[in-house]
Amino acid sequence: MKLLALLWAAALAAAQPSVQVIKPAPKTVVRGYFSAGVAPVVRVRSGDTVAIESAMIADPAMMREGGIPDAAIRDSDRAIHREVKNEGPGPHVLTGPVYVEGAEPGDTLEVRIKAVDLAFDYAIIIICPGCGMLPDDFPYWRVKSYPLDRRTMTTRFPGGITVPLMPFFGVMGVAPPPVSGRISTAPPWIHGGNMDNKDLVAGTTVYFPVHTRGALFSVGDAHAAQADGEVNVAALETALTGTFQFFVCKGKPLRWPRAETPTHYMTMGFHENLEEAGRIALREMLDFLVAEKGLTRDDAYLLAGSAVDLRVTQVVDGKKGIHATVAKSIFGKH
């Protein structure tokens, strides 16, 4: 009986899909750009799960300047900032990409965020001259670190202020269309990228339009917490480990990324003009309500004025972000 039980347990273990792990290292990251020409770090099938750890956006010198003890700086971050010289125009370090078998242009990549965990005990925030929403008010450089309490999931600001941690990846995206070449990680676009959407936490599903074979999914710009707007161009910048499950959705093309939280449906818009970003997000929501909920476009627009919220995602990354949300509860149990 014991042998039978052992054989049964082994069979069950073999049937369980394995979770691949990607750690940040010079050969597993891309600095500053998205591109359809980047070689994948791993290949997975639809339904597989990958745990991806991010690098710090800050180099070791900046971390030390902000007050992070030298002994706390991870060897992986030292190696990445020392050895990776093939850089793009953006500031972010991306881990990946992940090649998802079967994903083709015109498909949708469904990414279920199963977990997001702290991978570093500190975060930094910066004031960058010429950046942010008030560049004339703060025309100087400053960087400051904040210890992260894993037990209470909080950090402390001066004056006895306690800020709760809500970790998420500011950058999640797939490769852009191949004709785009290398594009900066700074502004978000149809591939996702630097969306800086604080609602994309564990338990959320994000949908990306696929523009190249394999989709080529990458993450970075880890935030321990961020407010809507990210007004000073930086959140609590840290390192995280995200656990993602991938599914290829055939026959459901998208133009822009979308998301689904446990309580809401979400569409997104990114544009240099905030009003135009709002129009994109709203039109995407109307398309969703027509296609998925069976409304006429007129009824969807009428509903939007009473039940669809427009929120500012961020205003400091070149292209501003708006996301539109509608509560699942209004649709009953359908």
Which strand (E) or helix (H) includes residue 77?
A: helix 75-83
Question: Mean pLDDT of all residues in the chain?
Answer: 95
Residue 105 reports pLDDT greater than 60: yes
pLDDT for res 10: 47
Residue 31: pLDDT band (50, 70, 90) is very high
Residue 334: pLDDT band (50, 70, 90) is low
Q: What is the pLDDT of residues 199-243, one digit of tens each?
A: 999 999 999 999 999 999 999 999 999 999 999 999 999 999 999
Q: What is the pLDDT of residues 153-177, one digit of tens each?
A: 999 999 999 999 999 999 999 999 9
Quick one: what percent of the chain has pLDDT higher than 70?
95
Lay out the sheet containing 108-118: strands in order across.
19-22, 49-53, 240-249, 108-118, 205-209, 258-260, 264-271, 320-327, 308-314
Pairing of strands 42-44, 93-100: parallel
Q: Which of 159, 169, 209, 165 shows the shortest CA–CA distance to 189?
A: 209
pLDDT for res 13: 45
CATH number of 263-334: 3.10.28.20
Report the C-alpha gap between 23 and 15 in whole angstroms.
Answer: 25
Lowest mean pLDDT among 8-22, 149-163, 251-265: 8-22
Stretch 285-291: mean pLDDT, rounded?
Answer: 98
Report the C-alpha gap between 313 and 268 in whole angstroms.
Answer: 9
Range(s) of the chain covered by CATH 2.60.120.580: 16-253
Q: Which residue has the higher pLDDT, 1 or 312?
A: 312
Range(s) of the chain covered by CATH 3.10.28.20: 263-334
Residue 9 reports pLDDT greater than 90: no
pLDDT for res 252: 86
pLDDT for res 259: 98
Against a cut of 0.85, is the pTM above it?
Answer: yes
Pairing of strands 161-164, 154-157: antiparallel
Report the C-alpha gap between 196 and 315 in whole angstroms.
Answer: 10
Stretch 25-52: mean pLDDT, rounded?
Answer: 98
Which CATH superfamily groups domain 16-253?
Answer: Acetamidase/Formamidase-like domains (2.60.120.580)
Report the C-alpha gap between 93 and 91 in whole angstroms.
Answer: 7
pLDDT for res 116: 98
